[in-house]
Amino acid sequence: MVNNRISFGGIASGIDTNSIIDQLMAIQRRPISLMQNKQLQIRSRADAFSRVNAALSAVATRAATLSQPDTFRQRSASVVAKEVDANKVQANSTTGAAVGSFTFHVTALATQTRAESAQAVGQAVDADGPMDQAGFGTALKAGTFTINGTAFTIPPATATAVASAASIGAGYNASLPLDSAGGDITPSGGTFTINGVSINFSAETDKVSNVIQYINASAAEVIASFDEATQVFTLTHRTTGAGQSITLADTSGNFLESMKLIDGGGGTIGAQTAGVDLMSLNDVITEINGAAIGVTATLEDDALGRPNLLQLSGGGAVQLGSGADTSNFLAMTSLLESPGGATRISQRSLGGVSRTANLEDARFETALTEVTGAFKINGVEITYDAEGESLSNVISRINTSSAGVTVTYDSFTDRLKIASNATGALAVTFEDVTGNFLDATGLLGATQVTGQNAAYSIDGGATRYSTTNTIADAVDGVTLTATGVTTEAVQVQVNLRPNQVVQAVEAFVADFNRALDTIDTLTAFEEGGRSAVLFGDNTVRSVEQSLRGFLGRSVEGLPGGLRTASDIGISFGAVGAGVGQTKHLVVNTQKLMDAATKDPEAVTALFTTFTSAASLVPGGTGTIEAVSGTPTALQRAGRYVVNSDGLGALSITFTPNDGSPQSSMTGSIAAGGTNTTLIPGLTLTAGNPLVAGSNEIIISATREGFAKSLS
């Protein structure tokens, strides 16, 4: 047995059995081979048809573009103005705008209605309170600041703390459980309280680090720490400043006693440190005035008569700040922004409303009367929650609502400003529904400066007005945008865009020629029997002939004397060209450009014109017995099916011949009456009596432009 085949051999039998078997197997395999070859041929043809289809689809897309009048009616607009009026007017033209020029003079711009809080929203700075609680708009950073070369220091606020009265054990090992760590007082497990918050622990399994985690994760409002170098356990209040306290008690067990914070009787024995507040503004003023640097610091009134500005006065120029400063005091008080000189004063109010704190803590000058409330701006209701929302939250909700206004906070004046999103003479309405938010923010009594309309004239005519600075109805097809008042009229020029026509035609021609090349390649004949896969296919060849032949058609009755594609420079080469030199469509760009410039509507008609006729198909079963007139709204040939219910109701469906989507509509007709609106331009006449059934109306083209025909 060789190669998995039985072999008898010629010596034993005298017959070449191998050859006979090979021939028999070849005969058996022949149908399979033929089928495989046939399958390959079918696949090759399918692939070839797909290539032809893709090429024709590209041509169809380009033809559809050329069948739209808008392709040929593109316009550009430009503005000519003196330098003083440059860029004050922009012009944009739409498809089909009339070519020419006109003048445009802007004498007033449309403006927004604006209003501002009638009074300050927040409270003035508290000059006697700690500066982190005094109402400054910017948080203070402790450190140093410099005036005339002298450094002043604002120490940071500190927190109340209590620490072990002494080392809890000279040999204390924090890596071991509490009862074996070697403290002077061995703890027993149980519970202790800090600031009334109960904390559980195990002396047998918990280390000191575990108890620290329990404390810091609790609601006791303290931070626990242990210094292994000094064996001191410390509790520090989370809130800095004076007035905070830390209360301690061992409920069961003796953890706090083992940390030498309390004694066996429950009394606090740990070293206690009281929290210290930040300095007040008056404290800083006192230090500056006592520094003998020739500068006097005073608290001055702002524009609203509140002591809310810091002033520094000297015999000469007051120099502020240095590169070594670590505090932002001079920036926080808005002194760094002030002009140099012998007097430097805050450029904005020091105190005001807080935009980030909850409304109930925002330091409103007029307190809110309700925890939750609502108000209306331009009739749109906005709600608020004083316990859970900040002023910034409410402002954002107003600005993203449909109230049509934008609210901002002016930190220089501590007031809210509001502006209409739209321009024109529109008032803004305010109403407190529940609570007094608008009253507290000063908007309820705000004086409004009503916006004004834009004023302009065209070609020196009468003054016209617009609620916006973008004017789309002054000149048909042109939108004008004013950004400034012009000293005199500017000139607006609307021009043709023949280059757009050339580009569209050249794109069509390129895809058209690619389609012809694709068909030629796939249908080519070669000597020796190696012809292309679609050689001899009549369908493909007829498509090619149709493509080549359509440009030879003429469209009669058009304006400008144009009838053929060659009239505007589109042809298969020059007349008299040699064989093989007219395979491709070519464009005489200059000739096309000249035609599109000289008579754009004639060029448009050559590609896009469409007129049609309607005829009623005999033998219908419906109520329509006659059709007259010429369709005026249709731009393609096709077929209407008119269904009538016998009671006067009509429904029609139009199916275009070019494969584009169907459209449907409904109407009615009286017995013996007519309908002139269902199909614009056509009069449908009903029989008497009305009958249920259907009729067909054929819409045929009587004249089509090249692109319409090709589509």
Tell me whether residue 23 is in a domain: no
Tell me the residue range of the domain where 401 lies: 369-449
257 and 172 in a single domain? The answer is yes
pLDDT of residue 579: 39
Is 434 within the bounds of a domain? yes
Nearest to 132 by CA among 236, 298, 280: 280
* pLDDT value for 574: 59
Give the residue from 449, 468, 483 where a domain finishes: 449
> Is 262 found in the same domain as 218?
yes
pLDDT at 2 over 60: no
629 exposure class (CB count in 10 Å sphere: 0-12, 13-18, 19+): middle
Residue 111 vs residues 117, 450, 462: alpha-carbon distances, Å:
20, 8, 21
| CATH code at position 236 | 3.30.70
Summarize pLDDT for 393-436 with one digit per residue, the tens. 999 999 999 999 999 999 888 999 999 999 999 999 999 999 99
Q: What is the pLDDT of residues 606-628, one digit of tens each?
A: 988 889 999 999 999 999 999 99
Distance CA 81, CA 78 (A): 10
- Please indicate, yes or no, whether residues 328 and 263 belong to a single structural domain of this protein: no
> For residue 578, what pLDDT band results from cuts at 50, 70 and 90?
very low
Please count the other Cβ atoms lying within 10 Å of the Cβ belonging to residue 187: 26
* HSE of 244, CA atoms in CB hemisphere, 13 A: 26
Q: Provide the whole-model pTM.
A: 0.66
Confidence of residue 14 (pLDDT cuts 50, 70, 90): low
- 426 lies in the same domain as 389: yes
- Shortest CA distance to 606 belongs to which of 565, 552, 571, 653? 565
Residues 614 and 701 in one domain: yes
Contact 366, 330 (CB under 8 A): no
432 falls within a domain: yes
Q: For position 525, what pLDDT does the model report?
A: 80
Task: Tell me the pLDDT of the chain averaged across its residues.
Answer: 91
Range in 55-64, 156-165, 450-459 the model is least confident about: 55-64
Specify if 629 maps to a domain: yes
Same domain (yes/no): 687, 673? yes
Type of residue numbered 276: V
Check residue 580 and give its pLDDT: 45
**CA of 257: how far to CAs of 238, 332, 450, 621, in Å?**
22, 46, 73, 108
Q: What's the rounded mean pLDDT across residues 1-29?
A: 62
Lowest-confidence pick of 14-18, 73-77, 694-698: 14-18
pLDDT band of 197, cuts 50, 70, 90 = very high
674 beta partners: 685
Residue given tokens 């400003």 in the structure block: 417
Task: Give 121 or 304, the one with higher predicted confidence.
Answer: 121
663-668 and 674-675: which strand pairing?
unpaired
In a domain, 482, yes or no: yes
Query: Do 285 and 193 belong together in one domain?
Result: no
User: Has residue 338 been placed in a domain?
Assistant: yes
Q: Does 553 have pLDDT greater than 50?
A: yes
Dist. CA 319–CA 682, nearest whole Å: 90
Distance CA 646, CA 319 (A): 98
The position carrying tokens 């593109």 is 74
Both tokens of 547, joined, read: 């493509």
The mean pLDDT value for 105-128 works out to: 95
Q: Are 251 and 198 in contact (CB under 8 A)?
A: yes
Give mean pLDDT, residues 657-678. 93
* Bridge-based pairing state of the strands 454-458 and 464-466: antiparallel
* Helix, strand or coil, per DSSP, at residue 87: coil
Q: Is residue 355 in some structural domain? A: no
What local confidence, expressed as pLDDT, does residue 549 receive?
Answer: 80
- Examine the domain organization and report whether 149 and 289 are in the same domain: yes
The bridge status of strand 89-93 relative to strand 478-482 is antiparallel
Query: Is 576's pLDDT higher than 60?
Result: no
Amino acid in position 53: N
- Residue that finishes a domain, picked among 209, 239, 273: 273
Mean pLDDT of 376-388: 96
DSSP tag of 219: S
Q: What's the pLDDT score for residue 528?
A: 65
Name the least confident of 10-24, 42-56, 324-338, 516-530.
Answer: 10-24
How many domains does one find in the chain?
Answer: 5
**Choice among 197-201, 470-474, 596-600, 648-652 with the minimum mean pLDDT:** 596-600
C-alpha to C-alpha distances, 418 to 116, 441, 446, 450, nearest whole angstrom:
6, 11, 10, 12
Average pLDDT for 28-34? 74
Question: In terms of domains, do 310 and 237 share one?
Answer: no
What is the per-residue pLDDT for 537? 83
Same structural domain for residues 172 and 249?
Answer: yes
Count of CA atoms in the C-beta half-sphere (13 A) of 484: 10
Assess if residue 313 is contained within a domain: yes
- At 191, list the tokens: 């519970």
Q: Measured between alpha carbons, how far is 482 from 509 in angstroms, rounded to an integer?
A: 42
Q: Which helix (H) or strand (E) holds 413?
A: none
170 lies in the same domain as 225: yes
Give me the pLDDT at residue 389, please.
95
Last residue of one domain, picked from the residues 250, 273, 296: 273
Instruction: Give 208's strand partners.
Output: none
Q: Are residues 459 and 445 in the same domain?
A: no
> What's residue 168's pLDDT?
96
